[in-house]
Amino acid sequence: MNIWDLAKIVFVIALVLQGVPVLVWLERKISASIQGRIGPNRTAVLGLKAAGFFQPVADAVKLLFKEDVTPGAADRFLYQLAPLFVFVPPLLVFTVIPFGNRIGEEHLQVANLPIGVLFVMSVLSLGVYGVAFGGWASNNKYSLLGGLRASAQLISYELTLGLSIITIILMAGTVDMREIVARQTRSAFLSWNLFGGGNLLLLPSGLVAGLVFYVAALAENNRLPFDLPECEAELVAGYHTEYSSMKFAMYFMAEYAAMITMSALFVTLFLGGWHFPGLVDPADTSWIGGLLSHGVFVAKMGAVIALYIWIRWTLPRFRYDQLMRLGWKVLLPIALVNLLVIAVIGVAWGER
Amino acid sequence: MPKVKINGKEVEVAPGTLALKACLEAGVFVPHYCYHPGLTPAGNCRMCLVKVSNSRKLEASCMYPCTDHLEITTEGPDIDKARRDVLEFLLINHPLDCPICDKSGECALQDYTYTYRRGVSRFVEPKNIRPTKDLGPNIKIWGNRCIVCTRCVRFCEEISGTGELCVVNRGDHAVVDVFPGVPIDNPLSLNVVDICPVGALIDKNFLYSARVWFAQETKTVCATCSRGCNALVTSLDGRIKRIVARPNAAVNQYWMCDEGRRNFEYVASKRRLDSRRGTFEEMTSAARAIVKRYGSGSVGGVVSTYQTVEEMHLFAKLMKALEAPAPGILTAERGARQVFPGGFVIEADKTPNRAFAVRLWGEASVQDGLARVVTDIDGGRIKGLIVLNGIPHPPWPQAFLAAMEKLEFLAVIDILQSPVSDRASVVLPGTAWAEKDGVFVNVDRRAQRIHCVVPPPAGARLEVDTLQMALVALGARQAVVSAETVFGECAREYSEFAGLDYAKLGEHGVGLPEATESVSAAP
Amino acid sequence: MKMGKFKMRLYLPAVAKGLWVTMRRFFSRKETVEYPDQAKVPRKGYRGEHRLKKDEQGRMKCVACFMCQTACPAECIEIVAGPSPWPDRDKIPVTFNIDMLKCIYCGMCEEACPCDAIELTPTYNIVATSRADKIYDLHKLLSR
């Protein structure tokens, strides 16, 4: 392992972990604005209020000092383990995501696995264990219901998510993440997979795949309108009802980390990764070019996350049967048909 | 007997009955101000206009005697209009200061104005100002409010016979006033406040003290003399605010004396006994010990004629249980019996239940008062004494106060702190007349109910309860029951009460027959 | 209408519409009043704590007519009347207590008053450290 690899690992972990408080702040500010409020604006460091930017810091300190309660009837081992299970996968996924072009010969990616996309899918599905463990180990009926709902929901939507990723694999003809991004940098916006990856015939299919992926991603992240596992009106707080202090914070952070990872995945697979026509030159390997490409990547992620938040404060929650019907009877058939269309078009008019 | 038709309904009336009286007796209400059943009619307010078959124009019913086959109509558009117009005239100079008027809420002018919807005044010129002034020590007049119905003037001429009030000035400046230097100050003066249909004449004691719609009104009987005038007590938050007369043709017609109206200050007095010194058990055991040591007749009693029938009955039982001689009777005779030109009487004995004491212990015993008890104490025959008093400011004879020093034991059931209660070893606070239920027998042998109006002070206990508990402690009684049940006992024991109970006494009481058994047969 | 139904089934136009609504709200004026730093100005006709008004000569307007006490549905007003020292009126209140803890701020007293003597002020920060402090007497009501 050279110094570059270490630096990249540290950078990626920092990116995800430091993204969480920023995201919390963003979420609170956006929700406040949508509701005609101001949002957090009281916390200050050395008199600097910064529009409540330090509110998540205060929240974290508060959570750290809270009593860490373990329910008497809980399965202690799994109860302690569960938060780790939800927290680790989002970080792991980030290892294969190219978060920038390259500086010199160093690609801004921790590890370029040849099976990148498959790795992503396998690791992502691990997250459901944390939720199911947490719900079961708490020995609380609300937690259990939340956990059950979560696992059913995650499994259902993972199918759709996987199908739409397969369409991308078909479009790109590879499962190598760096290659998928590279193929999207060949020309302007139209080479983005969202717009058909350079093939105009695939434009509608790309859009449909992007939409299906995005909706499934919302469900995967337990975001409104699909946040049934932690639906307050029915389940108190769902699978993390019994969690307190830092273990609760782990769940909380894992949710936002998963959002970051999912948005990074969406950017990589559909929105051309770090590429932006006219702004980033794929051939530019200088420091400036590399950082610029990273900046573009983060900006795209930010936009995707902002949409997440925007949707959350717009739409009401689904009913559970509606959620399942949407997943199995609408999104899955659409994704399947879309896959078929891409396959046919790919065979008939593909480059190979 | 002439027969008249009132609104199509035929009724029979006495010859010469006035149309208004006939209507009121037939249950048909006709609004009126100057007419008062206890006074001669004046016919000046014109509010009681009705249609009669003998006349084409509307007639003032208070001045129209009934003739045979007269048809009276009291309702109709023309009659309503006439009354509304009369009201408009009456309100020309009336200040309409109902919010600050003490009569507000029980004012005839207010009531009829609401009834006839006279809501707007067409009179834009400035109103007359008539004086607001004192007419006497108890009465103040708001000249502006006066509608010159002259009820008060007629009262002073006919009932009290003193004639202090008159109408001065003419036209719209006319107002009721007194002659210079002669204030209205007769024993019945406050009746003019009762009969004033508006808020012109006001009792200075009641002025500003309560709004009548917040207050409670309780029908009871005045205890200020043995006449037993029927009264209506207004109370607010457990405090008596005023006492007004309640009509009872058999006792007081429509009137009541000033002394009776103002005899309630002591109920909320600071000198009220409100904590017990000793208990009824100490009283009975001490009395029994004295009887055991000195023999029968060594414990005596004093009872006031302010007590109810039930209390006197129980006290007589207590005396018997303690083998005591007949008790001393405390009365409060003051001045002479006053008879007024209108037939109203103020009795000399200022206690309400003298008649029943006479029935229990005999006229001679009541006349004798405390004299025999004093003699017995001085002679050493009585060593212990139980005093039951309800008279607010009892006229204790000096000899009695001196004799008390010789007693070995003195128990007092009383309402106000006094030299007697100061000397007693057992003091049991009792209840004032407005704090209990019971029956008084008035000077004409009429049994009338009194009602609890306000709650007694914290430490006080109903005398009927105290006496019954003492009797139970002496083994002379089984249980403590309510005053009503005790009256049931009286009804079985005394022939004149036979068949009576509280419900049958009603609002106006029942005149009693002569007792069949002799006085000595009493317990 | 068939198209409309299909559009409804499609769900996406409705989502877009919703997003548009929240977007507009996002850029609209913020309603928050940062209370301790910035005092809220109650709307016109706000019914806060009472006060008793005075006339041009600085005397209380109240004539102790008890109309407010009569109208009060919460029975929180307690008046004791007495004779007035001034020639232009008969009576004034000797005590005038309003139990602010019983009061429901309905404004019926203000409506009932024939002299325009009682008024509900826009004072809304109604705090006290004891129950006794919340019984406002004549002096307190007049000095507001």
pTM > 0.90: no
Checking phi first, is residue A269 left (phi over 0); if not, alpha (psi -120 to 50) or beta?
alpha
Return the residue of C nearest to B209 by Cα. Answer: C81
Distance CA A112, CA A108 (A): 10
Residue spans per domain, chain B: 3-75, 127-268, 280-336+346-511
Does residue B327 contact residue B299 with C-beta atoms inside 8 Å?
no
Where are the strands (E) in B109-151, listed by range? 132-134, 139-142
B213 contacts C70? CB cut-off 8 A? yes
Say what the pLDDT of residue B521 is: 40
- B151 neighbors B34 (Cβ within 8 angstroms): yes
CA distance B112 to B31: 7
Residues paired with B60 in a beta bridge: B49
DSSP letter string, A261-300 = HHHHHHHHHHS-TT--TTT--TT--SHHHHHHHHHHHHHH
* B211 touches C at CB < 8 Å: yes
Residues A74-90, mean pLDDT to the nearest whole number: 84
Residues in chain C with CB shorter than 8 Å from the CB of A310 are 19, 22-23
Distance from CA of A314 to the nearest CA of C (A): 6
Identify the contact set of chain A against chain C, taking CB-CB distances under 8 A. Answer: 30, 33-38, 310-311, 313-315
Residue A342 resides in a domain: yes
Residue A77: pLDDT above 90? no
The SS3 call for residue A349 is: helix
Mean pLDDT, chain A, as a whole number? 82
Query: What digits encode the pLDDT tens for the residues A296-332?
Result: 888 988 899 988 888 888 888 888 888 888 888 888 9
Taking 90 as the threshold, does the pLDDT of residue A294 lie above it? Answer: no
Is the predicted pLDDT of residue A46 greater than 50, yes or no? yes
Is the Cβ of B100 closer than 8 Å to some Cβ of chain C? yes
**Does the pLDDT of residue B176 top 80, yes or no?**
yes
In a domain, C20, yes or no: no
Q: What is the mean pLDDT of residues A28-43?
A: 86
pLDDT at B165: 94
C58 touches chain B (CB under 8 A): no
Cβ of A38 within 8 Å of Cβ of C32? The answer is: yes
pLDDT bucket at C2, cuts 50 / 70 / 90? low
* pLDDT recorded at residue B146: 93
Quote the pLDDT of residue B217. 94
Name the packing angle between helices A245-270 and A141-172 (round to 10°): 20
Q: Does B208 touch chain C (CB under 8 A)?
A: yes
Please state, in angstroms and as integers, the Cα–Cα distance from residue B408 to each residue in B266, B365, B411, following that order: 31, 25, 10
Ramachandran angles phi, psi of C60, nearest 5°: -65, 145
Whether residue C73 has pLDDT greater than 60? yes
The CATH number that domain B127-268 falls under is 3.30.70.20
Which of B98, B208, B212, B213 to probe by mutation at the C interface, max C CB count within 10 Å? Answer: B208
Residues of B in contact with C81 (CB under 8 A): 208-209
On whether residue A62 sits in a domain, the answer given is no
Q: Is the pLDDT of residue B227 over 60?
A: yes
Ramachandran angles phi, psi of A274, nearest 5°: -85, 0
Tokens of A337: 């048909």
Judged against a pLDDT cut of 60, whether residue B522 lies above it is answered with no
B contact test, residue of C66, C68, C94, C97 with most B CBs within 10 A: C66
- Tell me what the mean pLDDT of segment B487-506 comes to: 92
Q: What share of chain B is helix, strand, coil (3-state, %, to 5)?
A: 30, 20, 50
What whole-number distance in Å separates Cα of residue A254 and Cα of residue A192?
29
Partner-chain contact B100 C91, CB within 8 Å:
yes
A304's enclosing H/E stretch is helix A287-312
Closest to A315 (Cβ–Cβ): which among C15, C28, C32?
C15
CATH number for the region B280-336+346-511 comes to 3.40.50.740
Please indicate whether chains A and B are in contact, defined as at least 3 beta carbon pairs under 8 Å. Answer: no
Question: What is the rounded distance in angstroms from the CA atom of residue B411 to the CA atom of residue B421?
Answer: 8
The tens digit of pLDDT for each residue in B273-299 reads 988 999 999 999 999 999 999 989 999
Residues of chain A found within 8 Å of residue C32, distances taken between Cβ atoms = 36-38
- Collect all residues with Cβ–Cβ distance below 8 Å to A350 and sequence separation of at least 6: A199
> Which chain C residues are Cβ-neighbours of A311 within 8 angstroms?
15, 19
What are the CA-CA distances from residue A184 to residues A161, A168, A194, A345, B94 (Å)? 20, 11, 10, 19, 98
Q: What is the DSSP string of B149-177?
A: --HHHHHHHHTS----EEEES-GGG-EEE
A314:C18 CB<8 A: yes
Chain C CB within 8 Å of residue B126 CB:
no
Q: B264 falls in which pLDDT band (50, 70, 90)?
A: very high
The Cα C79–Cα A105 span in angstroms is 92
pLDDT class of B48 with cuts at 50, 70, 90 = very high
Please, which residues have CB within 8 angstroms of residue B210's CB and are 6 or more apart in sequence?
B234, B236, B241
Q: Minimum mean pLDDT among B7-11, B170-174, C27-31: which range?
A: C27-31
The architecture that CATH gives domain B3-75 is: Roll (3.10)
CA nearest to B426, candidates B248, B244, B290, B251: B290
Do residue C22 and residue A313 have CB atoms under 8 angstroms apart? yes
**What pLDDT, on the 0 to 100 scale, is given for residue C4?**
66
**Residue numbers of the domain that contains C97:** 50-142
pLDDT at B330: 93
Number of domains comprising chain C: 1
| pLDDT > 90 in chain A, percent | 0
The number of C-beta contacts closer than 8 angstroms across B and C is 27
Using CA coordinates, name the residue in chain C closest to A215: C12
Read off the pLDDT of residues A187-203 as tens digits, 9 standing for 90 and up.
777 778 777 777 777 78
Q: What is the 3-state secondary structure (H, E, C) of B100-117?
A: HCCCCCCCHHHHHHHHCC
Asked if pLDDT for residue C9 goes beyond 90, the answer is no
- The total of structural domains in chain A comes to 1
pLDDT digit string, tens, across residues C75-133: 999 999 999 999 888 889 999 999 999 999 999 999 999 989 999 998 887 788 999 99
User: Which residue among C18, C27, C32 places its CB closest to the CB of A37?
Assistant: C32
Give chain C's mean pLDDT: 87
User: Which pLDDT does position B161 carry in this prediction?
Assistant: 92
Name the β-bridge partners of B4: B11
**pLDDT greater than 60 at residue B393:** yes
Q: Find the range with the poorest average confidence among A347-351, B329-333, B447-451, C95-99.
A: A347-351
Which of A296, A215, A224 shows the shortest CA–CA distance to A262? A215
Inter-chain touch C32–A33, beta carbons under 8 Å: no
Confidence of residue B489 (pLDDT cuts 50, 70, 90): very high
Counted across chains A and C, CB pairs separated by less than 8 A come out at: 34
Give residue A229's pLDDT band: very low, low, confident or very high (50, 70, 90): low
Instruction: Report the residue from A36, A38, A311 with minimal CB separation from C25.
Output: A36
Residue C22 and residue A34: Cβ atoms within 8 Å? yes
Mean pLDDT of chain B: 91
% of chain B surpassing 90 pLDDT: 79
Helix (H, G, I), strand (E, B) or coil at B248: strand
Task: Report the DSSP pairing between strands B345-346 and B239-245.
Answer: unpaired
Confidence of residue B328 (pLDDT cuts 50, 70, 90): very high
Whole-number pLDDT of residue B518? 53
Query: Has residue A157 got a pLDDT over 50?
Result: yes
Query: Could you tell me if residue A137 is inside a domain?
Result: yes
Residue range B441-468: average pLDDT? 93
At residue A295, φ and ψ (nearest 5 deg) are: -60, -45
Task: Identify the pLDDT of residue B523.
Answer: 43
In a mutational test of the A interface, the residue from C9, C32, C37, C38 whose CB has the highest number of chain A CBs within 10 Å is C32
- The pLDDT of residue B286 is 93
pLDDT for residue B36 is more than 90: yes
Instruction: Give the span between the Cα atoms of A110 and A95, in whole angstroms.
Output: 5
**Residue in A closest to C29 by C-alpha:** A36
CA distance A139 to B434: 70
Q: Does C19 touch chain A (CB under 8 A)?
A: yes
Please, which pLDDT band fits residue A352 given cuts at 50, 70 and 90?
A: very low
What's the CATH number where C112 sits?
Answer: 3.30.70.3270
Task: Give the residue numbers spanning the domain of A207.
Answer: 73-349
Q: Do A36 and C30 touch (CB under 8 A)?
A: yes
Q: Is B209 on the interface with C (CB under 8 A)?
A: yes
